[in-house]
Structure 1
């Protein structure tokens, strides 16, 4: 619900106040394994994936999760990543509370330190027709980490619409 600067600041606050010492130590160790020399030896896309996999404590309930399998066989260009991130440089959520009256479901994981659920705190009060759920054993990808709980929430929500 916020631009990149506010997302980064919010994620840093959430990390500092909510991540366990063990999770923080795991992130530090994993980042030390991919030093600058190693990262410089990779193509930009491979370096991006290596960083994402190393940063598991930021994205996953299990801080040692190996997400490399998600990237196997995937091709993408860094220009697309930069363009996507560029969209949110000056993002401002403008939502007309009178229309449209489209229902929205937001499902987030409590262990998402990259885009924490707490970023929605101020925005939710001014949004209508929003159902907001936080799953307690998920990070950035609750539909993958807690598929049964996610499916149940989604199906119940769809049934109510």
Structure 2
């Protein structure tokens, strides 16, 4: 059973969804999208709190760039923590939302017991993005590349129909970069998700490009779980994280039959690995 509620943070309506019972895990991102990715089994072990950020929240006033810096996102998370009366929590960030989770843990380490980072690159710089594209061209199968060309050809008509949902349509049409099963159609997972493109563009294009997670994680003391998909070409290659091999507080797990969403693609193994790590103490 899931319960949905909303809060107003500095002029943004942020929804959150609570599912399951037990130790709380705050999943930063979309309260609509992320509950669809985690298994029912996982929510039987923990209380999952799926929280919108401003990129997926409804604004109640006119906003400008100063309203959606990474620092603002961090303060929204802290506001939510206080409202939900959470302490000593586990914070999780998937893909670009990992940058938000790390930024929060840096600002408020006293409230973070552990951190989960899933399918993220170490930076979102243009250089790294090009590196991931080059990796796809070098290592993806011919069939995968053909599927991608078919899918991406549909993007133009998507954008003409719904330009305000560009982020969503890009994610769907990049399926061959995103899934072990490159024929998987992720449309249903994005139903009802409406991004604020001005905010999304700034965060993914500017704010995350300025971050280096390897450097930041090195200075954080809490246990950190880094989960990566072998076939996740969006943030490839997994070797970007090799520098963490000798970092004692970081556990890196590579899901060999997953792309960008191992919690959806390999749910049993994902649950097994993450539950065991959380319960280590």
| Alignment TM class, shorter chain as reference | 0.7 to 0.9
- Deviation digits for residues 62-85 of structure 1 (CA, Å, limit 9, x no counterpart): 111111111112232112311321
Q: Secondary structure at the match of 1:73?
A: coil
Q: Which runs of 5+ in 1 are unaligned?
A: none
- Answer 1 or 2: which has greater helix percent: 1
Question: Once the 2 structures are TM-superposed, how far is the Cα of residue 96 of structure 1 from its aligned partner?
Answer: 7.0
Tell me if the contact between 1:7 and 1:119 (Cα under 8 Å) persists in the aligned partners. Answer: no
Among 201, 226, 244, the residue aligned to 1:82 = 201
- Answer 1 or 2: which has greater strand percent: 2
What is residue 125 of structure 2 aligned with on the other side?
A: 4
Among 32, 47, 64, the residue aligned to 2:153 = 32
What is residue 51 of structure 1 aligned with on the other side?
A: 170
- Deviation digits for residues 76-125 of structure 1 (CA, Å, limit 9, x no counterpart): 2112311321211222332374x54211101111110001222212x314
Q: Secondary structure at the match of 1:41?
A: helix
| Residue 142 in structure 1 maps to residue 247 in structure 2 | no
| Residue 128 in structure 1 maps to residue 248 in structure 2 | yes
- Deviation digits for residues 16-49 of structure 1 (CA, Å, limit 9, x no counterpart): 23211110011011122334xx245223233332
Q: TM-score, normalised by structure 1?
A: 0.85
Point out which structure has higher relative CO (alpha carbons under 8 A, 6+ apart). 1
Q: Which whole-Å CA distance do the structure 2 matches of 1:149 and 1:129 have between them?
A: 21
Q: Which runs of 5+ in 2 are unaligned?
A: 1-121
Q: Secondary structure at the match of 2:233?
A: coil
Q: Secondary structure at the match of 1:88?
A: helix
Among 3, 15, 19, the residue aligned to 2:140 = 19
What is residue 104 of structure 1 aligned with on the other side?
A: 224
Q: TM-score, normalised by structure 2?
A: 0.51
Tell me if the contact between 1:49 and 1:71 (Cα under 8 Å) persists in the aligned partners. Answer: yes
Q: Secondary structure at the match of 1:160?
A: coil
| Residue 63 in structure 1 maps to residue 172 in structure 2 | no
Q: 1:26 to 1:100 in 2, by over 3 A?
A: closer
